[in-house]
Structure 1
Amino acid sequence: MSDSFSHVDQHGKASMVDITDKPVTKRLAIAEAYIYMNAETLQKVASNELAKGDVIAVARIAGIQGAKKCADLIPLCHPLALSKVAVEFELQSEHNRIRVEAMCQLAGKTGVEMEALTAVSTASLTLYDMCKAVDKTMRLDGIKVLSKEGGKSSW
């Protein structure tokens, strides 16, 4: 692990990392998030009984849009030409939650972890927004990067 921040210059000022001389490689990142809700709310999501419609379909599109807009939301992120964004949902009734997973991929000079994190965050927030009328107890949790490939540090 580096002992300095990559987004701070030698004078302590925030700066965008210069990736000009980095090689283009395949980059891939997977992130996850959980949204916890009442069992009744989860059942309504599963059976598509919410007044706002198919919340999973809308949240999937929102997650993809979130990944594409990451550089507009996170100040020092590079705008990326993503080649693939996939957002998947697993309804886990035994835990009263939905697991959201996003995969982002491209051939480029910088990683896509922030895009994957933004995708799961946006998808989860969309689920929250679409279900909040019937469930005031929902919470988001466990937002994290599961893996990344490409560049200097794959894990």
Structure 2
Amino acid sequence: MNNSPIDNGEGEAGSLTHIDAQGSARMVDVGAKPQTPRLAVASGRIRMSAKALAAIKAGDAPKGDVLGTARIAGIMAAKRTGDLVPMCHPLALDAVTVDFSYESDAVRVTASASLTGRTGVEMEAIVAATMALVTVYDMAKALDKAMVIEDVRLIEKRGGKSGHWRAPDIAG
């Protein structure tokens, strides 16, 4: 068994929760955990040229409704996280939101996922935000191939054994 000093927030410091006694990857058994309300919020941004940003704001991108399509992609991706991330449990999500805001040189996405269950929804929120950003890139690449996806991260989580956590640099 690998006993490297890693604390992923789910097991004891020094234990690897997704590795079995033979050192093989495994999915954690969450069957005995209590069902509790869970929420996670993630965000990221895609930096782009003024031309691309103006076209997205005006609804003039060659491929159509950039943010509407990206919202749908983010929601669909959250629902498929268990298929995309190897050790994630497939979850019956109660809600997923994908929202956008404009910055001076970027579009920011904020995604949330929630359910009442035995495991958290952090990965679902991160996958939703990431796929929404990838879709913005796809929908606007004719306007700016040099767009940069950046700053994808967990902002907040609620529920489970670790309770409420918020990124330390985020007000609120």
TM-score by structure 2 length? 0.87
1 or 2, which has the higher helix percentage? 1
SS across alignment from 1:104 = strand
- 1:54-73 alignment to 2 at 5 Å? 54-73=65-84
Q: Which residue of 2 aligns with 1:135?
A: 144
Q: Deviations over 1:22-55 (max 9, x none)?
A: 0000000000011000011001000001111110
Identity %, equivalent residues: 48
Q: Which residue of 2 aligns with 1:97?
A: 106
Q: 1:89, CA displacement in angstroms?
A: 0.3
2:33 pairs with 22, 40, 52, which one?
22
- 1:5-154 alignment to 2 at 5 Å? 5-93=16-104, 96-153=105-162, 154=164
Query: 1:129 and 1:84 mapped to 2: Cα distance?
Result: 25
SS across alignment from 2:27 = coil
Which sections of structure 1, spanning at least 5 residues, go unmatched? Answer: none
Query: 2:91 and 2:118 mapped to 1: Cα distance?
Result: 9
Give, as a single letter, the amino acid of the residue that structure 2 aligns with 1:119. A
The one of the two structures with greater contact order (alpha-carbon pairs below 8 A, sep at least 6) is: 1
CA contact (8 A) 2:98 2:128 kept: yes
SS across alignment from 1:41 = helix
Query: 2:31 and 2:107 mapped to 1: Cα distance?
Result: 39
Which sections of structure 2, spanning at least 5 residues, go unmatched? Answer: 1-6, 8-12, 166-172
CA contact (8 A) 2:27 2:88 kept: yes
Query: 1:97 and 1:4 mapped to 2: Cα distance?
Result: 40
Aligned length: 153
Q: 1:3, CA displacement in angstroms?
A: 2.6
Moved beyond 2 Å, runs of 4+? 1-5
Give, as a single letter, the amino acid of the residue that structure 1 aligns with 2:62. A
Q: Deviations over 1:81-136 (max 9, x none)?
A: 0000000000112xx01110001000000000000000001000000001111101
Q: 1:10, CA displacement in angstroms?
A: 2.4
Query: 2:144 and 2:82 mapped to 1: Cα distance?
Result: 32
Give, as a single letter, the amino acid of the residue that structure 1 aligns with 2:131. T
TM-score by structure 1 length? 0.96
CA contact (8 A) 2:70 2:135 kept: yes
SS across alignment from 1:40 = helix
Query: 2:82 and 2:103 mapped to 1: Cα distance?
Result: 32
